[in-house]
Amino acid sequence: MANWDDTLLICSNPEVVKKAALAIRWVKGYNNWKEGDTKFYGTTVGCVPFMEVIEISKQFPDDVITCEYSIEVDRWSEIHTIEYRNGESELIGISPSYMLGTIPLKNNEDIDGIHNRAIAFCRRLDLMEMDKDGRLFINWFDKEVCLKFEYDGVDGKKYKVEATKCREYVDFKIYEGLIKYDWRELSKEDDLPF
């Protein structure tokens, strides 16, 4: 959804997380806070709660608050990781975020596993770098690339996956194995026609 920004807030002090969960104006129904949590995930509209977290960090000066903000910058999706301590903030990293295509499987664990494997590959192409002024940025791999891999589903099924990445978009084709094949490695001793 346009202009919707996601925040993952992490702090070892549950009181800090509670304060953020209750004080910041989150989109109703798009947060998952529970009493005693040390992590909180929520969505805001129009901007991330940067200044609000600075104020909360002033109230809890001995605690470190880490926020991962998923935002869109010039059409590219990025996750900015910021640490807050005693009213001060520091950008400690950025990583790419991807718009993932639909996977036609019913098991969420398989969907997450396939997504995570594709994202890990994509993040090897889209690298965090620093410009001459010391600012972090993502150097996006600007060519279309297709990753093919096999995935063992939680139900014992085997899938072949084609994940096609074009900038921040990743589309999927999933093939289900219908026939079981036994494979053996060929060696020099085999009588090969070539």
Q: What is the pLDDT along the chain (194 residues), one digit of tens a residue?
A: 457 788 899 999 999 999 988 888 888 777 777 888 899 888 888 788 889 999 999 999 999 999 999 876 555 688 999 999 999 999 999 999 898 999 988 899 999 999 999 999 999 999 999 999 999 999 999 899 999 999 999 988 889 999 999 988 899 999 987 666 665 665 556 555 55
Same domain (yes/no): 50, 105:
no
Q: Is residue 91 domain-resident? A: yes
Give pLDDT, residue 186: 53
Dump pLDDT digits (tens) for 123-164.
999 999 999 999 999 999 989 999 999 999 998 888 999 999
- Would residue 79 count as lying in a domain? yes
Residues 64 and 149 in one domain: no
145 and 176 belong to one structural domain: yes
Rg (CA), the chain: 22
Can you give the pLDDT at residue 194? 52
What CATH number should be reported for the domain holding residue 50? 3.30.70.1270
- Secondary element (H or E) of residue 41: strand 39-45
Residue 192, domain member (yes or no): no
Out of 80, 97, 114, a domain closes at: 97
Q: Which of 76, 27, 77, 75 is nearest to 49 (CA)?
A: 27
Which residues make Cβ contacts (< 8 Å) with residue 117, sequence separation at least 6?
Answer: 149, 151, 161
Give the model's pLDDT for residue 26.
Answer: 82
Q: Among 97, 116, 148, where does a domain finish?
A: 97
Give residue 189's pLDDT: 64
pLDDT for 91: 94
Alpha-carbon distance of 17 to 23, in angstroms, equals 10
Residues 4 and 92 in one domain: yes
Question: Rounded to an integer, what distance in angstroms lies between the CA atom of residue 131 and that of residue 121?
Answer: 24
What are φ and ψ of residue 52, in 5° steps?
A: -65, -40
Same domain assignment for residues 113 and 145 = yes
194 found inside a domain: no
The reported pLDDT for the residue numbered 118 is 95
pLDDT for residue 5: 81
Cβ atoms of 174 and 111 within 8 Å: the answer is no
Counted domains in the chain:
2
Amino acid 190: pLDDT: 55
Q: What pLDDT is attached to residue 145?
A: 96
Q: Are residues 16 and 104 in the same domain?
A: no
Produce one character per residue of 36-73: b if its CB has 16 or more CB atoms within 10 Å, e if not.
Answer: ebeebbbbbeeebbeebbbebbeebeebebbbbbbbee
pLDDT for the residue numbered 160: 92
- Do 91 and 104 fall into the same domain? no
Q: Is residue 193 part of a domain?
A: no
The predicted structure's pLDDT at residue 34? 81
In this structure, are 119 and 81 located in the same domain?
A: no
Domain containing 171 equals: 99-126+133-181
